[in-house]
Structure 1
């Protein structure tokens, strides 16, 4: 691959197998994520999405291949990992796997304390992200008293306190009700607007279709397909994976051919309305 400074995450021929496992979780995986590009990662359960994230954040170490950010290879000593996680942040699907301190403020400050930053800077960053994610009034609240949606926001705030360039989110709306989902996605929109690049692993194809600039499709630890949502969801080999299609794509494909002729598939309800109006 050609070295480019705008590549926030690069996997070059990466292999990984979990200890005592005979089957590789990641096989010869090569990909590049560009700064500013909204990327979604899809695939069946067990395809390697979560393992990719663990490798990208340095929580697992590749058996073969190289992982880079802006051309700098990932190293696994303590200092290098702390520096890496200031560039690449990870929010787990289950916030219980990520929350480690007794209160909201203590948990948000945890990663900053590991960086040995001055106390004044830690306090300033914590105050900023608590306000940003609507958590200021919960600063001293014990974590066990929070709702799941609040815990998700705390885990997000703790990562964003490190100010990463790239944020990896594993099934960010899993377990959330519709109101909590809207609140969490609004927070992601704000993060993106402030310059952080997002990579989201999800099973929500309707969200992927309207949101993503670029899709990565994994199967059995390999990168099977990549492209724009229009390109990927038009590929017949995608159907063979049994992932299904976004509802808007299904509606569009069911319309008469003469109505669709010369038009790109709409990715939002408003685009669909404009495409079919007389």
Structure 2
């Protein structure tokens, strides 16, 4: 189900289980750099693991000697509203604890070696039958876009497509325009990130709160104190307490709003922080040709 939530031109940075395990093993050793602790890092495989969903699917299906375009159709996939980012802080993590050894080709070879015979035999199945069977399964699965469209789940349709009309205009593979290398921008966190951590002040937190559409209500904060909780209110009026570290480094904000995906559009109107990622695909950036 969730695999169809991802737009075909969505880009993710993958990482293998082996590289992740290598990192966890090194965390258990005695020579871990002190500056690694009390921080937050994403685990990413690096530049060679940055692929669009379309690239990933084609490579996986190629292991079976199948062209995924013979089985899948573009209208199975959402057009927006899915996470997709590169983990630049993982480069720093790899410098502190070198864990990246795999390439994406290494990953594919391991997948190929582990495929059971009955899966390898899939290439002999009639493509039209497999395509029909897949669509029938999607129509029965409440987590897929086709199910939402069949059962008029308007909230989901709007969130992942914009409207039913947009979905109807998707077209076939002949209309699809692949974007192999999507441009990316660094996310702003709403305060002077070049300032030494020891000089973080209350005014920085007030700026960061305003950048998120809210307000920092606390009147006192010790300079450089990242751990003591401060009082915040979000753009929707929810009151909560959180440390500067949780907000600025761990990426948290209002725990009530983050659970309510239906109000993300409303939140983005008041939060420049959220808008910079929300507007990346709202309104939809057309990735299908008009001809």
TM-score (norm 1): 0.28
Structure with more relative contact order (C-alpha pairs < 8 Å, separation 6 or more): 1
Larger Rg: 1 or 2?
A: 2
More strand by share: 1
More helix by share: 2
